[in-house]
Amino acid sequence: MTTASLALCFDAPLQSWGTRSRGIIRDTTREPTKSGVVGLLAAALGKHRGDDEATEALANLHMAVRVDREGILERDYHTTQNVPTTEGKGHRTVVSERYYLADALFLVVLEGDPALLQELHDRVDRPHWPLFFGRRAFVPARPLLTREALSEQPAADVIATHSWLEIDVDVRNTERLRPATDRAPLRTVTDCTPTTPGAEPRHDHPVSIAQRTFRTRHVLVADTDLTDEMIRTGETSCS
Amino acid sequence: MFLTKLTVNVRSREFRRDFANIHDLHRTVMSAYPDTDGDIPARQAHGVLWRLDPTHIGYTAYIQSHTNPTWIKLPRDYTTTTPEVRPLQPVLDAITPGRKLSFRLLANATQDTRPIPLKGKTRRVAHHQPDDQITWLIRKGEQHGFVIPTARDGQPDVNPSPVPRMTGHKDNTTITIDPVRFDGHLIITDHIAFTHALTTGIGRAKAYGCGLLTLAPPRNT
């Protein structure tokens, strides 16, 4: 089986990727979670939440994330009024804290079975159900497929060479004029084995979406250089 | 003593990186100060304390130090205006016992857990309940020469508000800080202890934006 990779652009005014949320504090991590990405892809394919085989097939894809623009973490004070009590008598107001990432931009690369990636490539543009980033209201700001979406490179190479997704002209020009040695690198979060030095556990590998069960995967947080080629080549926008 | 006000450009890539990694933000702040030799860490040697305050359009950073900072090493698009540096002497002169001031403090309010049997080690955990956070601040006031007055409702005249968790990486270790922001009034009881607290900071995580006490005239006189 040859390797193939699918690169997706996650751009939205708001995104939220919770890993530990139970109850009234809804947290977010600083990059997309595997369960969130798997859920989004399953929605594109039209797989039901109870379809554990589809979940497993998608979760077994090797995922690598490049943070093209760090998001700003914001806290939302959120109230829901007239929530019935568990006894069914009377109503109460539920106060919750909801965290989200504002203005974040990610390159999400999936590596694995070429047939599955080809199917995903075809369906992400015409999804079965609407796609969103962590919460129903957080819809994509531009198409998910990048111009170089499908490739035969491994995910690590795509992360290191894929053109920068930033579209802010001021930010792009600032970086283009800056010497390459002065540029801040791009943060990457890549799936790895538990024995890799520096591996961090993340409890977001979905086992069953319907049962909300997860197991732990391991990621390596590293940096990749923002090279001249990544800023210059091609248009930044998606296809 | 000097106080700098930086109006941060939130579209700057360097700021976004620093915002995601509190250790990088610490390094950017420290880039304004010369290297020190000796056993004392550079932050302590220069008496650097800082805080990142959210505003309705972005962020403002306040940085206080003994040494006069030079902000030329800051990335070019890091701020939207030139850094404003002013001496802190008027504030230090205003510290007299019995004086009431309004203040803001971002603090890492923590407690040690009970020692685990046989292991004997304690773990530091953050206070999450507002009552515990106020109790923590009142205890710090006893150490640092100030008291929190009682407001009209009979409660301490201070408002603790939650702040998003700050995280970072330093040499493969993860930094996690759950700070709390206190806005309120205080009355100085011991001006020597209070001046010391103002110049050296209150509580833990001073390298990561906690402990800077900023003062202003009281609001309700």
Number of domains observed in the structure of chain B? 2
What mean pLDDT value characterizes chain B?
Answer: 92
Instruction: Map B148-187 to HEC letters.
Output: CCECCCCCECEEEEECCCEEEEECCEEEEECCEEEEEEEE
Whether residue A236 is predicted with pLDDT greater than 60 in this model: the reply is no
* Interface pTM, i.e. ipTM: 0.85
Percentage with pLDDT > 90 across chain A = 69
For chains A and B, count residue pairs whose Cβ atoms are closer than 8 Å: 45
- Domain span at B121: 91-216
The pLDDT score that the predictor gives to residue A20 is 83
Q: How confident is the model at residue B118 (pLDDT cuts 50, 70, 90)?
A: low
The pLDDT score that the predictor gives to residue A91 is 85
Domain boundary among B36, B69, B87: B87
Contact across the interface for B17 and A75, Cβ inside 8 Å: no
Exposed / middle / buried, residue B89 (Cβ in 10 Å: 0-12, 13-18, 19+): exposed
Whether residue A231 is predicted with pLDDT greater than 90 in this model: the reply is no
> Per the domain annotation, does B221 fall within a domain?
no
Q: Are residues B206 and B142 in the same domain?
A: yes
Whether residue B219 is predicted with pLDDT greater than 90 in this model: the reply is no
Mean pLDDT of all residues in A72-79: 91
Angle (deg, nearest 10), helices B22-30 and B13-20: 120
Q: Among B11, B20, B167, select the one facing A171 at the smallest CB separation.
A: B11
The pLDDT score that the predictor gives to residue B63 is 97
Q: What would the pLDDT profile of A13-67 be if each residue is shown by its tens digit? A: 999 999 887 888 899 999 999 999 999 999 999 999 999 999 999 999 999 999 9
Q: Are residues B113 and B199 in the same domain?
A: yes
The pLDDT score that the predictor gives to residue A237 is 56
Q: What would the pLDDT profile of B122-163 be if each residue is shown by its tens digit? A: 788 899 999 999 999 999 999 999 999 999 899 999 999 988
Q: Are residues B201 and B100 in the same domain?
A: yes
β-pairing verdict for A25-26 and A91-102: parallel
CB atoms within 10 A of CB A142: 17
The pLDDT score that the predictor gives to residue A1 is 59
Q: Are residues B108 and B195 in the same domain?
A: yes
The pLDDT score that the predictor gives to residue B54 is 92
Which domains are seen in chain A, by residue range?
A: 4-20+29-68+108-233 (3.30.70.2660)
Instruction: Give the mutation candidate from B15, B17, B159 for the A interface (greatest A CB count, under 10 A).
Output: B17
The pLDDT score that the predictor gives to residue A2 is 76
Whether residue A88 is predicted with pLDDT greater than 90 in this model: the reply is no
Q: How confident is the model at residue A201 (pLDDT cuts 50, 70, 90)?
A: very high
- pTM metric for this prediction: 0.88
